[in-house]
Every structure is written in structure tokens, then in C-alpha cells.
Amino acid sequence: MDKTEFRALIKHCFLMGKNTVEAKQWLHKRYEDSAPGKSTIIDWYAEFKRRRTNTDDAERNALRY
């Protein structure tokens, strides 16, 4: 499973009202070694609390010299 799919699952947990610990337990129970870590889940919860809805990578501005 790729990171965008895991982000969608993290968002699902967030929308279902699970806290970060419950989300981590739920993901690790189902995906074991491939599940995202605690800090990733916490970071995405923070994004969703700031009303971010997109789970894709944020576009970054390229530095131009």
C-alpha cells in the first residue's frame, strides 16, 4: 500500500473520531510492518485539524538560482 492510501486510512480514522493512539493500533493491527509510524499519524491528524482535506503530497516551490 502506498503512502497516499495510508493517508486516506488515517483520514478515515480521524473522521470516525478515533484518537491518534486508536488510529495507530487500528492500522498496525491490519497492516503490521507496513503501517505508518506514530509521528506520521500525529502529523496528519494535525493537518486534518487545520481543515486540510487533500491527502496528496503538497506541491513545493522549486528553488531557482
Confidence band for 64, pLDDT divided at 50, 70 and 90: low
For the segment 6-60, what is each residue's pLDDT rounded down to a tens digit?
Answer: 999 999 999 999 999 999 999 999 999 899 999 999 999 999 999 988 787 775 5
Residue 46 is predicted with a pLDDT of 96
Specify the CATH architecture of the domain 3-53: Orthogonal Bundle (1.10)
The Cα–Cα gap between 25 and 35 comes to 10
pTM summary value: 0.82
Residue 56 is predicted with a pLDDT of 77
Domain extents in the chain: 3-53
